[in-house]
Amino acid sequence: MLMVLAAATDSYAQPLPWKSGILLDEFIFEKAPFPESHAATIAETPGGLVTAWFGGTKERNPDVCIWVSRQVNGKWTAPANVADGIQDEKLRYPTWNPVLFQVPGGDLLLFYKVGPSPSTWKGWMKTSPDGGVTWSKAIALPGGYIGPVKNKPVLLANGNLFCPSSTEGNGWKLHFEVTPDFGKTWRTVGPISDGKTLNAIQPSILQHGNGKLQILARSRDRALIESWSYDNGETWTTPTKTTLPNNNSGTDAVTLKDGRHMLVYNHVLPPGTEAKGPRTPLNISVSKDGRTWYAGAIIEDSPVSQYSYPSIIQTSDGLVHVVYTWRRLAIKHTVIDPSKLKLKKITGGTWPGIKGYTAPVATEITKDGGE
């Protein structure tokens, strides 16, 4: 079914000019025991790449579980159910937003949430000593902690694992959950926003060196939100809008080995004064300083929405890997060589035009809602 849908879209979509540097574009799976999937995450382990996502009949339904696939000999293993929200014989909650992190020289960590909604979920984690082949029993995070809400943690030079997080219960607020011992003990930094001036969630962390950090976050304010720290994340500037648009959908970013920063997101300004826009196209932008951004690639540019909730990492070989939601029906994996991107400056928040190319107008195949 996935192959047929992809071919049908390609038959009327225009040729894409923004493909320089994209080496591979593939589905993680073509058959699965669940109809919908969303919110993928990816990590590099000593044994290879591992990805996870939540899947079930529909987001928020109690049967939604956390699924994992490993890349073995260049192929992805069949999805394996590694976590659920079963409370007892009569009560079951959905799971949400898995986040993977490989401890250097240690376990693979899996953070996830369990609960009826984002405003009421609780944080859990599991560990794997063998790159996602086997997993520990579920470990409850301390009360009030959820771990990284969507995007990967960052291990700072001082040994702190900084988890970008947020809450949605009483306004959208940004904060950080910090563990110096990979999940044994925790403390909180923030919230750094009041949920009134700007509404932002799901930050990702960029590292600029010498204790200087930057976050980029999803918002309801028609733009990506940023904040800066100059003391390894202990204090932060007041969040402000960037020049990049946001369609009220998740993004992710990573600092590359060469010091540049790469962002994966929907470069979409919602229509009129609306807060939410289509989740297509899915774009890659690059910056040297986190402020001036250059258009790099378009991973998906179909009028059929949605391509969303990306996760991005750079592996030890220098290549960049992105996993993302494909129309809520599947998870896709893209490999990018950052040295081969042809960059064009983004001016005034507008994606650079190319003569003879016009981005298609989005249509909806699934409702862009929930997380």
**Cα gap 351→325, rounded to integer Å:** 22
Task: Write the burial class of residue 48 (CB in 10 Å: 0-12 exposed, 13-18 middle, 19+ buried).
Answer: middle
- Sequence-separated (6 or more) residues with CB below 8 Å from residue 181: none
> Mean pLDDT throughout 271-299?
97
CA 234 to chain centre: 23
Number of H helices, E strands in the chain: 1, 28
In this predicted model, what pLDDT tens digit does every residue of 169-186 receive, in sequence order? 889 999 999 999 999 999
- β-pairing, 363-364 vs 304-305, is parallel
Nearest to 233 by CA among 274, 192, 201, 269: 192
**Vertex 99: Cα angle to 371 and 103 (nearest 5):** 165
- Sequence-separated (6 or more) residues with CB below 8 Å from residue 142: 186
Q: Count Cβ atoms below 10 Å from residue 363 Cβ, excluding itself.
A: 11
Cis amide prior to 281 (ω within 30 degrees)? yes
Residue-level pLDDT at 11: 37
Say which DSSP state 47 is in: T
In this predicted model, what pLDDT tens digit does every residue of 104-152 receive, in sequence order? 999 999 999 999 999 999 999 999 999 999 999 999 999 999 999 999 9
Residue-level pLDDT at 10: 44
Residue-level pLDDT at 17: 80
- Sequence-separated (6 or more) residues with CB below 8 Å from residue 13: 301, 302, 303, 360
Question: Are the CB atoms for 230 and 208 separated by under 8 Å?
Answer: no
Give me the chain's average pLDDT, please: 93
Residue-level pLDDT at 7: 47
Predicted confidence (pLDDT) at residue 13 exceeds the cutoff of 50: no
Confidence of residue 1 (pLDDT cuts 50, 70, 90): low
In this predicted model, what pLDDT tens digit does every residue of 16-66 receive, in sequence order? 689 999 999 999 999 999 999 999 999 999 999 999 999 999 999 999 999
Residue-level pLDDT at 353: 87
In this predicted model, what pLDDT tens digit does every residue of 344-371 receive, in sequence order? 999 999 999 866 555 666 765 444 445 7
Predicted confidence (pLDDT) at residue 12 exceeds the cutoff of 60: no
